[in-house]
Structure 1
Amino acid sequence: MDIVYTIWLRSMKRYIRSKSRIVGSIAMPLFLLVFLGFGLNSVVSTTTLGQQYVLFLVPGMVAMSVLFTSVFSGIQIIWDKQFGFLKETLVAPVSRLEIMFGQTVGGASTAVFQGILLMVFAVFLGLRVTSPLHFLIALGFMILVGIAFTAFGIAIASRMEDMTGFSLISNFVVFPLFGLSGALFPINSIPAWLKPLTLIDPLTYGVEGIRYGLTGTSPINPVISAVVIAGFAVAMTIVGAWLFRKVTV
């Protein structure tokens, strides 16, 4: 476990020292939350949502912050390849599985921290978490989303050699996942032909789990959301570990 802790600590130190990364990761979700939320607040029907649109957006923007930070933490693998750090790590007397777990936990931790920062800003926009238990539920779903998509990012990065290709492929996958997740619209009011695509999107269950924790309501049972996103996290961790074991430097 020492190697897992060491790699986690390295990821956290790099994150804390990179102020531009912190600001850049939270800027877009916060921008969408403020301008899209207040811009459409008087247009979107509160009867359908049961709350103001800006508050409906909060769980989706929190999930967005965790999602993008998680996936793009995988680029650290490519960075380490190019600068030789990964080679030095792989020749050390530790298993590749421990190295991958360390990278996953480190990326997920930074992603969850980003999500918590956004929640703090959302409090000033009117977010009120009903109880400490509901906050812990939201935090649990954020952790599951962070682990799942950090492992997803590592899986992609393990097969890539340059950062440009990683960014293109990640965006090609991540934006549809986010767009179909119900982060920007209620899934119980979408067209019938679109609903199956939304329900097979694993991020949908992460968004709705976070929504249940922050607002106390969700069209999907939180137990079902927890089972699906946890299963996806386990599956992606296994796939990421398998692909990382095949990395050559």
Structure 2
Amino acid sequence: MANVRIPARGTGHDLRAIKVVLHREMLRFLSDRTRMLSMLIQPVLWLFVMGTGLGTLVSGSIPGVDFRTFMYPGMISMTVIMTAMFSAGSIVWDREFGFLREMLVAPVSRGAIVVGKCLGGAVVACGQGLIILAMAGLVGVPYSPGLMLTLLGEMFLAAFTITAFGVTLAARMRNMQTFFGLMQMAIMPMMFLSGAMFPLANLPSWLHVLTTVNPLTYAVDPMRQAVFAHLDIPPQVNAVLNPGVEWFGWQVPVGVELGLVALVGAALLGIAVAQFKRAD
């Protein structure tokens, strides 16, 4: 009778599993040209069509600034968030076709599968976001190496957190229609309330509260702060377009905002791992 040897679990074993899942996510995305194109169309339309249209209405109140420059950080966020959520949604597809069961019965930690999935979604989303970064000069954003690296790091953090959120949602879903319906219901209001498309200054009190409690606000605002730090604009215009986030009159520092996004991402990752440990 032949002996079957199951490799012992360990840190190295889990790291290899993370690498395999990450690599699979990248291959899946690169092989789907249609998906790559569709993920870019919406933010590009918002940036160049709606941004240009709205810019004609507000040009008199923001002299010296192209409104598309204001919208640029929000469009980066929209690109990485939508791509990250679609990457997370592939879990439901894997469940429908039986591949997820094969991963779950493999002799690796389920936590490693989730981490690989979240890292894969973040890397894929950042790859898509690089295309939007390349358009910076078209909307008046300078190609400063420091700015580009800062935006890339903030993109990765936002993408990882959103992928963890998507994995948490997808962990118990049985079909793609349910997942995408729930995704639209959750992501679109969060996106609109993040300040991606309108300034956070002088909002009605009820809308200010909604933007303050919205986690995506703390992903979008650091990107806008980074972009506006590299622009030469009048202080009064900066105060209107880039007021930052305030808690009871205290302006939240960028470091605190990024820390909150990282904390939410870690919490969502933990929930996703717990969901997968109970999955069958």
Instruction: Provide the identity percentage.
Output: 34
Q: 2:146 aligns with which of 117, 130, 133?
A: 133
Q: Report the alpha carbon displacement of residue 196 of structure 1 after superposing the two structures with TM.
A: 1.0
Matches within 5 A, 1:88-167: 88-129=102-143, 131-167=144-180
1:74 aligned residue: 88
Q: CA offsets per residue over residues 172-230 of structure 1, 9 Å max, x none?
A: 00011001000000101321221011011111011011112233274333112212111
Question: How many angstroms apart in 1 are the aligned matches of 2:142 and 2:164?
Answer: 31
Whether the 8 Å CA contact 1:7–1:99 is kept in 2: the answer is yes
1:2 aligned residue: 16
CA gap 1:3/1:49 in 2 versus in 1, 3 angstroms? farther
**Of 52-61 and 239-248, the range deviating more from structure 2:** 239-248
What secondary structure, in the 3-state scheme, does the structure 1 residue paired with 2:197 have? coil
Q: 1:204 aligns with which of 217, 220, 226?
A: 217
Unaligned runs of 5+ in 2: 1-14, 230-237, 245-252
1:234 aligned residue: 266
CA gap 1:136/1:120 in 2 versus in 1, 3 angstroms? same
Whether the 8 Å CA contact 2:66–2:139 is kept in 1: the answer is no
Question: How many angstroms apart in 1 are the aligned matches of 2:215 and 2:100?
Answer: 30
Q: CA offsets per residue over residues 23-60 of structure 1, 9 Å max, x none?
A: 00011000110101111112125645972211101000
What secondary structure, in the 3-state scheme, does the structure 1 residue paired with 2:205 have? coil
Unaligned runs of 5+ in 1: none
Question: How many angstroms apart in 1 are the aligned matches of 2:127 and 2:69?
Answer: 20
2:248 aligned residue: none
The CA RMSD over aligned residues, in Å, is 1.6
CA gap 1:35/1:95 in 2 versus in 1, 3 angstroms? same
2:27 aligned residue: 13
2:201 aligned residue: 188
Q: Larger radius of gyration, structure 1 or 2?
A: 2
Whether the 8 Å CA contact 1:206–1:229 is kept in 2: the answer is yes
Q: CA offsets per residue over residues 91-148 of structure 1, 9 Å max, x none?
A: 111010000111110011111111111121232233214x322222211211111011
Whether the 8 Å CA contact 1:41–1:53 is kept in 2: the answer is yes
Question: How many angstroms apart in 1 are the aligned matches of 2:259 and 2:63?
Answer: 25
Whether the 8 Å CA contact 1:158–1:247 is kept in 2: the answer is yes
CA gap 1:101/1:49 in 2 versus in 1, 3 angstroms? farther
Question: How many angstroms apart in 1 are the aligned matches of 2:177 and 2:137?
Answer: 36
Question: How many angstroms apart in 2 are the aligned matches of 1:100 and 1:90?
Answer: 10
Whether the 8 Å CA contact 1:46–1:53 is kept in 2: the answer is no
Runs of 4+, deviation exceeding 3 Å: 45-50
Q: 2:44 aligns with which of 30, 40, 43?
A: 30
Q: Does 1:219 align with 2:243?
A: yes
Query: AA paired with 1:174?
Result: I
What number of residue pairs does the alignment pair up? Answer: 247
Question: How many angstroms apart in 2 are the aligned matches of 1:50 and 1:142?
Answer: 27
Question: How many angstroms apart in 2 are the aligned matches of 1:233 and 1:49?
Answer: 38
